[in-house]
Amino acid sequence: MLCVIAKLDDASTDKLNSLMNNVHAEVGLFRPLYGHITIATYLGKDEAGFIAYCKKRMKTVPSFPVMYHKVEVLAKSSILVATPEKNAALKRLHHQVCERYSNALDEWTNGDAWYPHTTLLHSPNADLNRICCMVSRDFIPFPAFVRRIEFSRVLKNGYEGIDRVDLAVSACCDPLAQKQ
């Protein structure tokens, strides 16, 4: 299994981690986040061909903002997530993968089933609704920025980053570009 992820900037990942640090102190559940939004999960056999296709399509994509607007529980997956709006840039990335590889994507990232989110906590045994209420008290909607696209292989005990595409810095919407 190979994931295509939109990697968030460090400041946004830090914001999400600080939300979860507050929960950790009370309920003891926390693992530092690798701030990202999964664009697609490829189940096919030709990983090299899949990566080459995606890299070719995504190499001209500029960095872009996403607006995180809520925290919620996705009960079917036993996860607490921060949910960004499904903006045009995210939809375009997802469409680029789906238009060629929809038959090789998992059930969660294929077509209209795709629901962009950043997983904050996966815990089938925790009271995720209670934890969501705790996190929601401190959550304030905020913009995050996607800096690159990464490809990572799912392993038994985690992930292995295998390739990436750094996105062009977009001066119109990226605070790092505005400082230069």
Does residue 111 surpass a pLDDT of 80? Answer: yes
**Sequence-distant (≥ 6) Cβ neighbours of residue 109 within 8 angstroms:** 38, 39, 40, 41, 94
For 147-180, the pLDDT digits (tens) are 999 999 988 887 889 999 999 886 655 555 545 4
Q: How far apart are CA 170 and CA 28, in angstroms?
A: 39
Residue-level pLDDT at 24? 76
Task: Dump pLDDT digits (tens) for 48-105.
Answer: 999 999 999 998 899 999 999 999 999 898 999 999 999 999 999 999 999 999 999 9
Cα angle value 103/108/112 (rounded, 5°): 75
Q: What is the pTM of this model?
A: 0.89
Burial 109-128 (b: 16+ CB within 10 A, else e): bbeeebebbbbbbeeeebeb
pLDDT tens-digit series, residues 12-47: 999 999 888 877 766 676 678 899 999 999 999 999
For 118-139, what is the mean pLDDT? 90
d(CA 43, CA 129): 31
Q: Which amino acid is at 48?
A: A
Strand 118-122 and strand 79-84: pairing?
antiparallel
